[in-house]
Structure formats: C-alpha cells, structure tokens
Amino acid sequence: MIVSTRKPLDQILPALEGGSRVFIIGCAKCATVCKTGGEEEVFRMQEELTAAGKEVTGTIIIDETCHMLRTGRDLRSRKEQVDEADFLLVLSCGAGIQSVAEASDKKIVAGSDTKFLGNIRRFGQFEQRCSLCGDCRLNDTGGVCPVTVCPKGMLNGPCGGMEDGNCEVDSNNRCVWVTIYERLERQGRVENLDRATPTRDFSHKRHPHNLKLEK
C-alpha cells in the first residue's frame, strides 16, 4: 500500500488563504489504513478547519481516489457541495490528489505527504521493502532488497559504515547485507555474492511511467 502522513494544520492553512469554504475528500483504501484520510481523519480535519474559521461545505470518502473515473463520478454526485467550495482539500496519496485535480478545476489543497510503498507489519506499522525501481534484483539477493533497505542502495555487499552488523545511517537497523548473507548461507548459496552485480539501469526509473495492458 501507499503510505502517507497528514500535513500539520499550520502547513495546510496558508494554502487555504483567500477563501473560506472547503470540501474535504478522503480515500477508503491506503489513506484509511495509514490513518491519513479515513472517516476519522476527515472528521477531525473538518473540526480543525471549523475551529480555524473555515466553512466545510461537505466531505466524501472516495472508495479508491487513485481511480480517476470513479473519483470524477463521486465528485459529480456531490456537485452542489463541491461547487460551493473555494478549495478541495484532499487527504490521500499524491496519486489520489491528482485524480481530484483531473476531475475538477477547483483549487486543490494537498493535506498529506506521500511517503513510500509500504509493507504492513501490523496495524499502524509500515516498512518500506520495495522502492519500485523497475529493475528487480531480488533473485540475486535471497528475496531481500538492498536497493531499498540499504540507504545507499549498495549492490555488492555492505559499505564501510556497518558496525556490529548495524547500519551507519540508523544503528537501530540491521545492515541489509547481513540479512542477505545469513539468508543465503542458510540456503547454501553464499556463492551468489561472489559475482559483481551489473550496474543498475536507471532508465527504468525515468518518469512519468504508464502501462497499457494488451487487450
């Protein structure tokens, strides 16, 4: 899922200057799971804005804000409240925010920061394991991604900053190359690490991406 966090109110209010009526949009998928834009958070945002002297013309939780056609359709179903508003404040990932922008010419305000593609450890705990690099090396690294889990994205083993098996950037984190080594050792294939990995092909990271499945 896409992990996002809510922007603090003092970063949102300046974007709402020059108008007082706000329509709030949440998302029932990722933003609900990471408590950025679910029912509760949309309600809290409404209260905060009201306390700050804004008028909330309405709220909606769209089932999947990244779905552009659905977002457009759901906003049309609330046309009056949307039309009344000076701003559409969106509490979803950046993809969802732009679905809203695609669907309406109103001023869009992002109420959240989109952080990473996250694995869910348990409720409310997310970890980045994949950075969507488009050039997957997991077959060579025992199913553990050094591109993502190592802050330097080291491809050929630990850097000189490893200390007692921990990372130089955050000593609370195990060096991913220790994890990879131990895993390959258990599987009897440490020799996987003997060959230098080819350089990464960053052309896979060229954006914007799009993909159209063959019919």
Partner 1 sequence: MPAMLSRKMGNNSFIVTAELAPPRGSDMSAFLRMAAFVAPHVDAINVTDNQGANMRMTPLTAAALLVREGIEPIMQITCRDRNRLALQSDLLGAAAMGIHNILALTGDHITCGDHRQGRAVFDLDSVLLIQTIQGLNEGRDINGKPLDGSTMFFVGAAAAPEVEPFIVTRPKLAKKAIAGARFFQTQAVFDPQRLTTFCATVEPLGVKVIAGILVLRSAKMAEYINRNIPGLKIPAAVVERLANSPDPAAEGLRIATELAVRCRDICHGVHLMAMGRDEVVPAIAAALK
* Binding residues for partner 1 (CB under 8 A): 151-165, 168-169, 175, 177-178, 181, 190, 193-197, 199-200, 202
Q: Which is nearer to partner 1, 195 or 212 (by Cβ)?
A: 195
Reduced to 3 states (helix: H, G, I; strand: E, B; else coil), residue 124 is coil
Task: Supply φ then ψ for residue 78, to 5 degrees.
Answer: -115, 35
Nearest alpha carbon to residue 37 among 9, 4, 13, 11: 4
C-alpha span between 83 and 146 (Å, rounded): 48
151: nearest Cα among 134, 174, 132: 174
Toward partner 1, which CB reaches closer, 79 or 207? 207
Cα-Cα-Cα-Cα dihedral sign, residues 197, 203, 209, 213: negative
| Distance in Å, CB of 179 to partner 1, minimum | 10
Minimum gap (Å) between residue 39 Cβ and partner 1: 35
Minimum distance from residue 4 beta carbon to partner 1 (Å): 21
- Tell me whether residue 30 or residue 162 sits nearer to partner 1 (CB atom): 162
Least Cβ distance, residue 144 to partner 1 (angstroms):
13
Burial class from Cβ neighbours inside 10 Å (0-12, 13-18, 19+) for residue 163 reads exposed
- Give 43 or 202: the residue with its C-beta nearer to partner 1: 202
Kind of pairing, strands 55-62 and 112-122?
Answer: unpaired
Residue closer to partner 1 (CB basis): 103 or 193: 193
Supply the minimum distance, in Å, between the C-beta of residue 138 and partner 1. Answer: 18
